[in-house]
Amino acid sequence: MFVVIRNNQKFIKSYQYATPGVYLIKVTATNLQGNTSAEHEIVVEHPVLKYWKLTNNSPKLLPEPVKFTLSYPEEQILPTNATMIINFGDTKRHIWKVPEDAEDWTGEYEVSHVYEKSGVFNVDVEILNVVSKLPRRFQVIYLFDHGSFIQLMVHLFSGRCDAAN
């Protein structure tokens, strides 16, 4: 492409790539004094979209695992080079590489986690790649015995939640 730009004029060109990948952009500028060129490498990815849904089966009693289920519509394009990181709120975490090929994706991914003590845990989930990030936070309730469960439910319905003992 050849474009004439006058003094103090800006030139902005956008281009939409059909497929993810690494592309090399080359720009050449010429005037009466000579010419110069510059190259720049760009990474094109499918972004992480807001269609992701994360559910769990909390509250649970010790030592039952809490199951986290991540789902994404099969008809949507999956993000490229994406990773999901779950911080369970108890210093442990889980890292999962999101599949890029729709044939490798069943629509759901499940991970289980066992907490070592009862409490209310803030769980942070982040799905990200180099062009986008989708953070989520929710609480998981994990209880020691049935008495704690009943006590916690009373506190939750009364607006208090101090049963993290």
Average pLDDT over the chain, rounded to an integer: 85
Tokens standing for residue 40: 């720049």
> What pLDDT, on a 0 to 100 scale, did the predictor assign at position 141?
83
Answer for the pair 152, 59: CB distance below 8 angstroms, yes or no: yes
CA-to-CA distance for 145 and 116, rounded, in angstroms? Answer: 13
The rounded distance, in Å, linking the Cα atoms of 93 and 85 is 7
Helices (H) and strands (E) in the chain, counts: 1, 10
For 88-146, how does the pLDDT look when each residue is reduced to its tens digit (9 = 90+)? 999 999 999 999 888 888 899 999 999 988 888 999 999 999 999 999 998 888 776 65
Residue 93 in contact with residue 87, Cβ under 8 Å? yes
Q: Element (H or E) spanning 70, and its range?
A: strand 66-71
- What H or E segment, with its residue span, contains residue 13? none
Instruction: Give pLDDT, residue 163.
Output: 40
Phi and psi at residue 25, to the nearest 5°: -105, 130
Class of 53-158 per CATH?
mainly beta
Percentage with pLDDT > 70 across the chain? 85
Task: Identify the residue whose tokens are 């010790």.
Answer: 62
Report domain extents, the chain: 53-158
Q: What is the pLDDT of residues 44-63, one digit of tens each?
A: 999 999 999 999 998 888 88
pLDDT of residue 30: 82
Ordered DSSP codes for 92-108: -EEEEEPP-SGGG--SE
Q: 32: number of CA atoms within 13 Å, CB side?
A: 2
The pTM for the full model equals: 0.72
